[in-house]
Each structure stands twice: as C-alpha cells, then as structure tokens.
Chain A
C-alpha cells in the first residue's frame, strides 16, 4: 500500500531563516506531487505541483520554491522566511487514473515564523 511521509511535524523558525520541508511517497511510481498551504482559518492553497522528476509548476508567486530530485521525493524551500509564511504545509500525492484520480495527504508540517 502507498504511504506518504512528511517531516518535520512542527517547526518554529525566525524571520529571514531558510526553510526545507521534505515529503516522500512509498509504494507507487511516478506520482503527481503537491504542496499546499493552509493559513489559520483559511482554505487549502495550492503552492506547487509536479508530474515528474524536475517538473515543477508554481501556482502562487512568492518566496517559496519546490524541487523534485527523485521520483517520490518533493521538497519545499525558502531562502528567507517571512512572517506571512506561517501556516500548515501539506504534501499530497496522486496517481493519474483519469477521472478517478484521488489525492492523499501527508500529516503536515505546522510552521510558525517568529
């Protein structure tokens, strides 16, 4: 069965510090991968998605970037965090099955920028 691992679970970082969040998927090949952010009391905002190694699509221009160095690894990064980067970051995966494509989430990383 497929599993998704996301770490760390919580993170407190000072403004201006770098960020690296990692997500890996097990039990499947060539998944679609996604990074979402959920700010307090708000909906899920799609940040990046990837359909293959090295293929990254950005939804929202900001000081975040994403990379996919391996088939089942997705990394979210920032060189300098802003206070507004605080939120709940969620990695998700899906396998393309046409209309039946379903997405599943990791446990999330709660980031607080101070």
Chain B
C-alpha cells in the first residue's frame, strides 16, 4: 500500500463550482498534512496545512482532516480557470519528512 494515495484525475469542474480533492494515507501516527499546488512546469507551492481533525478555511480553500478514517481533503470554492493545476497531498513522515502522493490534476473550464 502506498503511503499517500490520490486519484490522478483529471478532475474537471465548471468555473464557479466546488472542486473536491481527496487523499488517503497509511501511517496512523501521521500528524501533519499539507496541500501543494503545482502548475505545469513549475515547482510545488504550499497552499494549506492542517494538523487537527475538522476543517480549516483559508479564503476559497478548505482543508478537511479525519484522522480516524486517515483521510484528508481539499475543497476549492468558486473554482477559477487559474486554479487548474495538479494538487499534491503530503504527509510528514516523522516530524519533518514530507511524503507526497502522485497528485490530482484539476481542470476548471469556463
């Protein structure tokens, strides 16, 4: 079983809709969870961190964490074409070693 799993997509949503990106992880002791956005040809950019069960909101982005189910998600409200990118889920192994999923490609069409 891979440590961090994501559906590769692509996930296609219309402009203005809510995009929902999901991630599962295998290590029950993981405490830190991150979402990175990667535009084509560019390096990943950290957009959200979450450490406690529940929701964390930042602008149009909401991260959700359920440690019992080993599940973390990212919701993007009012999706824009500029949100089209690959979204990488990462989980810290130990305290400081990020392990990444393969990423989900998001396409927001006008």
Which of the candidate stretches B56-64, B71-79, B97-105 sits at the interface with the other chain?
A: B97-105
A90 adjacent to B32 (CB under 8 Å): no
Q: For chains A and B in complex, what number of residue pairs have CB atoms within 8 angstroms?
A: 56
Interface: B81 (CB within 8 A): no
Give the interface residue-count category, chain A.
20 to 34
Kindly identify which residue among B41, B51, B88 contacts A99, using a CB–CB cutoff of 8 Å: B51
Which residues from B are CB-within-8-Å of A110?
41
Q: How far is the CB of A101 from chain B (nearest CB, A)?
A: 5
A102 adjacent to B99 (CB under 8 Å): no
B88 adjacent to A101 (CB under 8 Å): no
What are 25 A-B contacts defined by CB distance under 8 Å? A36-B100, A42-B102, A43-B88, A43-B102, A43-B103, A44-B100, A46-B98, A49-B97, A51-B96, A90-B44, A92-B98, A94-B96, A94-B98, A96-B95, A98-B95, A99-B51, A102-B34, A102-B46, A102-B49, A103-B34, A103-B90, A103-B96, A105-B43, A107-B42, A110-B41
